[in-house]
A = this chain, B = another copy of it.
Amino acid sequence: MDLTRQVNIHKYNENQLSISVDVVVREVPITLFVNDDELVTLVCSPHGLKELAIGFLCSEGVLSKPKDLKNITINHNEGLIWVETSVPETPIKNNFMKRYITTCCGRGRVSFYFINDATSIKPITDGNLKISTAEITGLSAALEEKSGLFRLTGGAHGAALCRRDGIISFYEDIGRHNAVDKLFGHSFLESIALEDKAIVLSGRISSEILIKVGRMGIPIVISRAAPSDLALQLADELGITVIGFVRGNRLNIYTHPERVTL
């Protein structure tokens, strides 16, 4: 399915109005059914829908082991995806995006806000992975190089799973969250180990993105954009290195700098 569409526009430039053609990013709604129950509707770029569905369910803690996934059926024309899992129905429905309300006694991890995340995301304890500043700026440049949909339309975010020396897998999507979910789904389906990888993003590192990275078990997240304070609190707790504002030969290391070498 095409990721872009040509549209006729009126272009105004230096006091002149002219008829022109513009390339616009495509956006489709996809509704995800789990064991025949409608769970959520996502709007996304029409590519990697299987990866998106599986990655979304991994992000939400519904799928965690390959054997949880029994079947997936996609109707591309109508934008409908049915996933069959061996996970019992009740915990999915009862905890899906339900708020984790902490008490003032300070028990539990305070930065999480969804029950599923608070009860199942574990801190990263492996501290062996290191990355150099030159490798970080190199990966950020490689992401920019690959981001063709953004260059064409200005309407997409890129996300790449990386080894220190280069990109392994890459997705672009109109949504920052979708691009990361597609990487997650691809890694789940291909059984790619994540604990020794970095993730590089074009978009901001919000708490929602950081939670996805935490659930993937990826120790390093790199972006050319800004992080939020809640993402940094979570990264601190989860042992994740956050690197932001990577531009040219400059970058900011926000949390767990012990993984970064000169």
Partner of A38, one of B40, B99, B133, B251: B99
B252-A174 in contact (CB<8A): no
A12-B227 in contact (CB<8A): no
B97-A208 in contact (CB<8A): no
Kindly state whether residue A28 has any CB partner on chain B within 8 Å.
yes
Partner of A226, one of B31, B79, B155, B206: B155
Kindly state whether residue A249 has any CB partner on chain B within 8 Å.
yes
Kindly state whether residue A154 has any CB partner on chain B within 8 Å.
yes
Kindly state whether residue A162 has any CB partner on chain B within 8 Å.
no
A10-B257 in contact (CB<8A): yes
**Cα A208 to Cα B13 with chains together (Å):** 28
Chain B positions within 8 Å of A101 at CB level: 31, 78, 80
**Cα A160 to Cα B4 with chains together (Å):** 29
Nearest Cβ distance between residue A101 and chain B, in whole angstroms?
A: 7
A41-B99 in contact (CB<8A): yes
B43-A250 in contact (CB<8A): no
Chain B positions within 8 Å of A153 at CB level: 226
**Cα A79 to Cα B99 with chains together (Å):** 10
B155-A253 in contact (CB<8A): no
Interface residues of A (CB under 8 A from B): 4-5, 7, 9-15, 17, 20, 22, 24-29, 31, 38, 40-41, 43, 78-80, 97-99, 101, 113-114, 133, 153-155, 174, 204, 206-208, 225-232, 245, 249-254, 257, 260, 262
